[in-house]
Amino acid sequence: MTKLTSILVATDLSIRSDRAVRRAAQIAREHGAALTVLTVLDDAMPEDMIDTLHTKARATLDRFIAAVCDGVNVIIKAEPGDPSANILHACNEDVDLLVMGTHRQRPFLDAVRETTMLRIVRRTSTPVLLVTDRVDHSYNTILAACDFSPACSGAMRMAHALAPLATIHPVHALHIPYSGMLSQTRAAADAIETSFRREAESASKAWMRTEDLPTAQMAQLEILPGIPYPILRRKVDSGDVDLIAIGAHGRVGAARSLLGSLATDLMRDPLCDVLIARP
């Protein structure tokens, strides 16, 4: 199991980021890990303004960290620069986990350009925990989106490292292409689904045999027909899910510079806390 020794949490001093800092502190305390809290100030401002904001930001962080990080080895950094570049640079310094809050919703801009969060997740090899929920307990129930890829396996291992006692519920979305065109009757539709289900079951058995997975904490794999994001939404709405664990990409388009559609959708509209990892 992966051992967490160094955690980085990025904050813009918003309420959204406060939740991320609280979760990072809780994880660091549970694992005995060192915690770095980083806030990046816009370096495009005049130098005297940066100095003033730096003083205020550091004072705000000092007060907040003193209140929520009791018993944690904390380093606080408030520095000028570009948020994406500075956070990515900090991730290169032997960081086991990057924790971030949700981004501010800007529907039009988010539709036409890449958000800071997407840019960071796309370019870093460090697992990223996106925090949305209030931090009132440890993770107990983890929903793992399974496509039997190496990235999916990495996400499950990291989820187990974060919460060793949590139950992991793997779910596979069964894609049946052109189902409406291929089947004219209910019997034909059932036969087509059975064929694709058998293929998925065979792939899952091979995956379980070849991958190092936290099987002791894993519930039985569910194979559900449909599109991944709506399936995860229904599972979250109907159950007590604390965390969704997914790979940064599937088998198709597995270049390190690319993100899968599910990872992108969950970052734009997270259903609960989300862990994104690479192989």
Give the Cα separation of 47 and 234 in Å (integer).
50
Question: 137-279, what's its fold?
Answer: Rossmann fold (3.40.50)
CATH of domain 1-132: 3.40.50.620
Q: How far apart are CA 101 and CA 104, in angstroms?
A: 9
Alpha carbon distance 7, 32 (integer Å): 10
Instruction: Enter the pTM of the model.
Output: 0.89
pLDDT above 80 (res 209): yes
- Averaged over 201-207, what is the pLDDT? 93
CB 11 within 8 A of CB 37: yes
Backbone phi, then psi, for 245, in 5-degree steps?
-115, 125
Residue 37 has pLDDT above 70, yes or no: yes
Which range scores top for mean pLDDT: 17-31, 37-51, 169-183? 17-31
Closest alpha carbon to 148 in 213, 242, 217:
213
The string of DSSP letters for 166-229 reads SEEEEEEEE--TTHHHH-SSHHHHHHHHHHHHHHHHHHHHHHHHHS---GGGB-PPEEEES-HH
**What is the average per-residue pLDDT within 136-153?**
93
Residue 142 has pLDDT above 70, yes or no: yes
pLDDT at 252 over 50: no
78 pLDDT more than 70: yes
Which pLDDT score, from 0 to 100, does residue 264 have?
A: 87
Alpha carbon distance 261, 25 (integer Å)? 30
Average pLDDT of span 66-92? 90
Average pLDDT, the chain: 86
pLDDT digits (tens, 9 = 90+) for 85-110: 999 999 987 899 999 998 655 554 45
As annotated, the residues of the chain forming the CATH 3.40.50.620 domain(s) are: 1-132, 137-279
Instruction: Please say if the pLDDT value at position 222 is more than 90.
Output: yes
Distance set, CA 86 to CA 10, 102, 193, 269, 276 (Å) = 10, 18, 48, 25, 20
